[in-house]
Amino acid sequence: MEILKEYISNISGYAIANFLLLALQTSLWHDFMGSLPAPHFILYSIIIFALYQPSKLGFINTLISAFIICNFTIVPIEINLIQCVFLYILVNKLKERIYWHGFTYYWTLTAISVFVFHITYYLLSWSLEESGWAEIQWLFFLGQILISTLFAPLFYLIYNKFEKISFRSSYSSLEEVL
């Protein structure tokens, strides 16, 4: 029962955080920063789900994140779902092959994830959408990778803290889980 409560609090916590962050990314960021690319806030949590959460919970959180994305974009839901799940699986598999402790790993994965997220979007858009290939905006693309990587340490600290708080009884530390 305790575990269930923790799971629910974890899921709802990430859902609320993602809702707030995506609203910020689509409106407030453009108001203050103009045409400067916004960091891909949703990726920070998906990487956490893939790296540090039990697989079932991580997968549920990833699916919920994909549904949250749908509220802030016109991109079809199937593309969002495939993108998020693909990223989740990729990070999970990558962790099994290569892993080192510390936030630099998370940092590196953030940069890779932004790149992968964009590339999968272009491929999916080309194969699934009627209007075909989306034109790649290289400058924006590189800018977003840089800015997302820049914000990664902050989110690593926040989400780590949140993981520890939400799994008070069952979750001893991230290192032990790994």
Q: Given the rule CB under 8 A, which residues bind another protein?
A: 22-23, 25-27, 30, 34-35, 37, 69, 72-75, 121, 125, 130-132, 134-135, 137, 140, 144
CA-to-CA dists, residue 37 to 22, 75, 109, angstroms: 13, 18, 19
Based on CB atoms, which residue is closest to another protein, 108 or 125?
125
* E strand or H helix that includes residue 87: helix 77-97
Nearest approach, Cβ of 53 to another protein (angstroms)? 23
Say if CB 73 and CB 80 are below 8 A apart.
Answer: yes
Which two structure tokens, joined as six digits, stand for 158? Answer: 């926040």
Shortest Å distance, C-beta 21 to another protein: 11
| Comparison of 23 and 57: residue with beta carbon closer to another protein | 23
Q: 């994830």: which residue's tokens?
A: 113
CA distances from 5 to 52, 61, 177 (A): 18, 15, 19
Cα separation, 49 vs 56, whole angstroms? 10
Tell me the two tokens of residue 22: 């995506």
Instruction: Give dist(CA 120, CA 83) in Å, integer.
Output: 6
Task: Report the residue number, 23 or 90, with the smaller CB distance to another protein.
Answer: 23
Rounded CA separation 88/59 (Å): 8
Closest contact distance (angstroms) between CB of 40 and another protein is 9
Question: CB of 149: closest distance to another protein in angstroms?
Answer: 17
Q: Provide, rounded to whole angstroms, the least separation between the CB of residue 57 and another protein.
A: 24
